[in-house]
Chain A
């Protein structure tokens, strides 16, 4: 039974590793279909709970698969699920990164590099806007975003962790004062 579950995790998650193009959310629908309906590893309510937990967890949200692994086989389930989720896509990325640095210094490489930079910059800017709108676009968020960015621009070498903890404390205070 145990081997079956671990093998099943691998069979379900490894293809999803390569299917998660454009963010981990792309795999939620197929994962739900496999884990809830076809294999009945978790109930619909459990899947929904896992989804909520992942919003409060560090790391990629596709670690949801690891929670399913935990429910099935404990620690080994987590390990097999994590490896299945990230090793296949990492191998592809490694291949691309390797050939990319192999050609460093060629004229087309420089052009590609310079061409990709503004695309990346535009993506990050759009990411800030979308996350802000997703959070409800409140004044508290806007104030926090701008002040944290200002502090980080001003102190280039500052470790961000104290700022994140300060952010948690400020929002906690606002919540206790019924201002959030």
Chain B
């Protein structure tokens, strides 16, 4: 899949993840990364990004740094991973030092808490947008829709542990999407490449 004519520069990778790391208040960085990397820059397609996202949640470590490593690896290999990781951590490091100086004054000011809540709410909106585009990327077929709903219910409503849910749903989902014949597989690969070509244009 790494057949890009001109590879993404390390500077671009660093800058992209630096801003994601610095500005992503209010928890989940995943929607940021999906939006910057897939929607705005077309570095990866949703087909390439979403599996990385799922893996990042199950692997040890923080989801966002794992996704940064995944995207960096996809774009430029080991050095890409290192650059993406340092990019996403630079902003938080600066902010931690800043916070260590000033937190006594900042905390407990209700006005600041309200503003922070506003940022968090807007960030959830971004997450909803990512959710919608992830659902769209899966297509309108029975099997993926059932897997999606089952995953949603187990995590969101039954509050089962993430590891358990992924361990149950992944084999089922992979089994359901196993290519029936080699011919179907080749059309699938073809369609992915066409999608890629579209997004490059």
Contacts and interface: CB of A to CB of B under 8 A. Distances in A.
A84 interface: no
Contact of A121 (B50, B124, B163): B50
B40 A157 contact: yes
A60 B65 contact: yes
B60 interface: yes
Interface string A129-162: 1111001000011001111110111001101110
B18 to A, nearest CB: 11
Given A93-B59, A175-B110, A59 B135 contact: no
Contacts of B134: 117, 120-121, 124-125
Given A125-B156, A148-B122, A18 B61 contact: yes
Interface in B22-48: 22-25, 27-32, 35, 39-40, 46-48
A152 B126 contact: yes
Contacts of B40: 156-157, 159
A11 interface: no
B169 A119 contact: yes
B131 A128 contact: yes
Given A67-B100, A97-B73, A168-B119, A89 B152 contact: no
A144 B122 contact: yes
A113 interface: yes
A59 B66 CA distance: 13
B81 A97 contact: yes
Given A82-B89, A117-B138, A60 B1 contact: no
Contacts of A110: 179, 185, 188-189, 192
Contact of A120 (B50, B65, B93): B50
Contacts of A165: 119
Given A111-B178, A116-B173, A121-B148, A90 B61 contact: yes
B140 to A, nearest CB: 12
Contacts of A21: 58-60, 163
B70 A112 contact: no
A89 B134 CA distance: 26
Nearest to B115: A168
Contacts of A127: 28, 30, 127, 131, 155-156
8 contacts: A23-B63, A57-B99, A93-B61, A119-B169, A124-B31, A125-B134, A141-B121, A153-B132
Given A119-B169, A145-B128, 17 more contacts: A55-B116, A59-B29, A59-B91, A71-B100, A93-B70, A111-B174, A115-B177, A115-B178, A116-B170, A116-B174, A121-B134, A123-B166, A126-B151, A160-B35, A167-B119, A168-B122, A170-B118
